[in-house]
Structure 1
Amino acid sequence: MIDHIPSIAAIVPAAGSGQRMASKIPKQYLQLAGKTVLEHSLHALTQDSRISKIYLALSAEDTFFSALQLQLPIPVIPVVGGASRAASVLAGVEQARLDGVAYVVVHDAARPCLQADELSKVIDVALTHPQGALLALPVADTMKRSDAQNAVRHSVKREHLWHALTPQVFALQPLLNALVSLGVDHPELTDEASAIELSGGKPQLVAGRRTNIKVTQPGDEQLADMYLKFFATERQG
């Protein structure tokens, strides 16, 4: 049991250009259900009152964020992000450390459909699991491994395979130590959980919702828009 509520902050890496979306603007600034993807993602993090602030890692060349009129119940603190996700997360973690934060909730800027129960559940688990926790989905489809020409080499058993999602929640100091020790350009550093794993830890997987999609490929924004409008209708009903 946790005797007191530790200081918890969110970190949102948002310095990427979103080239896979083939969009003229970064994917986090696409409009969905009346707001940008980023606004929805930031608002989703305010659904758990334990999160006291959000560190938003932006590109030094970002010209879009200043035009937003955020209406959030907690402060959003911009920091200068880096050339990679890991570098942006590290920038947020370092600032959070200076501010005395104990736990960080790292969430994708382009994952706008996070629901309150998912967020609370992964925080609950991370606060009691010494190596942190992340939302994830068990793999449901048949998995194939290909060769360099995209011909099937063989099928991969899907038992115990999961899709990693966000948020991913960790005590700040172990995550900071892992990122600094490995270096932000480490080839196997694909998310925060991998930093903990490469440092010998075993974060806990927490089953999330399939609606918690990341806007990455063309067409994802249409699906996210549909989910957001459905959620809004449910709240009003």
Structure 2
Amino acid sequence: MDIAPMIIKSSAMSDRIIAIVPAAGVGARANAQGGQTPPKQYRLLAGEPMLRLAVKALLADRRISQVRVAVAPGDVRAEAVLAGLPRTVVRPCGGSTRADTVLNALREPDIGERDWALVHDAARPGLPADALGRLIDACLSDGTGGLLALPVADTVKEGTERVSRTVPREALWLAQTPQMFRAGALRQALRSAALRHTPVTDEASAMEAAGHKPLLVRGAARNAKLTWPEDFEWMEKWL
């Protein structure tokens, strides 16, 4: 795959959407063989690498101008895995953490302050097109941006070995991706979090730390993140 920068016209348009897929990790929790299998983003699901499925899910919405897959420097798998997909480029800008990888991707000079950055986990290959569409519709109508999430359905307990309390679940949500924010605001939020050593588990948490209140847009159960070895079995059946 040609990984040379794709030329995208920069204009007064403020609704250009650039998708970023951080894929620089090794997925240790998903590896049941102690390092004997490829990083989880390259594991096969229904005959296709999970990373390719995740990128194809994003390409289903034509409003996404480009998908930029951020991999670790020296990663030689991504080009072949993503070969032939339109509007897709590989960037060897992966950092030591997810936040570092996303920030590195956002530092590319052709990404404008007012462009939208839509960040999606490589480990969420089941993203439905309607959920993606809901997020984009909501964010284009909002000045801050937001994320897909699901209301907590189960009773939530707090404690270690014994329950200390039951947590009211009415206002609790399980965060998913994609998460979509103005590129300039997200870049600044991630940079500030890094300087302050603020823990960042997703893009929304960085935006929250910067004083923003992201939208919560209903996601989908099929958009679950594959974390443990057994997750691949049920997702393959679902696909």
Deviates more, 1:105-114 or 1:215-224: 215-224
Of the three residues 183, 186, 191, the one matched with 2:202 is: 191
Secondary structure, aligned partner of 1:124: helix
Structure 2 equivalent of residue 74 of structure 1: 87
Q: Quick check: 1:131–1:196 contact (8 Å CA) kept in 2? A: no
1:77 Cα deviation from its structure 2 partner:
3.2
Q: Distance in 1 between matches of 2:82 and 2:204?
A: 32
Matched, 1:168 2:179: yes
Of the three residues 24, 30, 53, the one matched with 1:21 is: 30
Instruction: Work out the percentage of aligned pairs sharing the same amino acid.
Output: 43
Matched, 1:12 2:21: yes
Distance of aligned partners of 1:21 and 1:195 in 2 relative to their CA distance in 1, 3 Å threshold = same
Structure 2 equivalent of residue 45 of structure 1: 58
Q: Quick check: 1:131–1:203 contact (8 Å CA) kept in 2? A: yes
Q: Distance in 2 between matches of 1:67 and 1:46?
A: 17
Of the three residues 213, 216, 219, the one matched with 1:205 is: 216
Of the three residues 79, 87, 108, the one matched with 2:121 is: 108
Of the three residues 107, 114, 129, the one matched with 1:94 is: 107
Q: Quick check: 1:55–1:79 contact (8 Å CA) kept in 2? A: no
TM-score by length of structure 2 reads 0.87
Q: What number of residue pairs does the alignment pair up?
A: 223
Structure 1 consecutive aligned stretches of length 4 or more whose deviation exceeds 3 Å: 184-187
Distance of aligned partners of 1:185 and 1:40 in 2 relative to their CA distance in 1, 3 Å threshold = farther
Secondary structure, aligned partner of 2:221: coil
1:125 Cα deviation from its structure 2 partner:
0.8
Deviation digits for residues 105-148 of structure 1 (CA, Å, limit 9, x no counterpart): 1000110000111111101111111111100000001111113x
What letter is aligned with 1:9?
A: I
What letter is aligned with 2:194?
A: G
Q: Quick check: 1:10–1:53 contact (8 Å CA) kept in 2? A: yes
Deviation digits for residues 165-203 of structure 1 (CA, Å, limit 9, x no counterpart): 000001111101111111178343110001110011000
RMSD: 1.9
Secondary structure, aligned partner of 1:135: strand
Secondary structure, aligned partner of 2:130: helix
Structure 2 equivalent of residue 136 of structure 1: 149
Q: Quick check: 1:145–1:156 contact (8 Å CA) kept in 2? A: yes
Secondary structure, aligned partner of 2:144: coil
Distance of aligned partners of 1:126 and 1:49 in 2 relative to their CA distance in 1, 3 Å threshold = same
Matched, 1:58 2:71: yes
Structure 1 equivalent of residue 238 of structure 2: 227
Q: Quick check: 1:12–1:108 contact (8 Å CA) kept in 2? A: yes
TM-score by length of structure 1 reads 0.88
Distance of aligned partners of 1:184 and 1:85 in 2 relative to their CA distance in 1, 3 Å threshold = farther
Q: Distance in 2 between matches of 1:65 and 1:185?
A: 33
1:36 Cα deviation from its structure 2 partner:
0.4
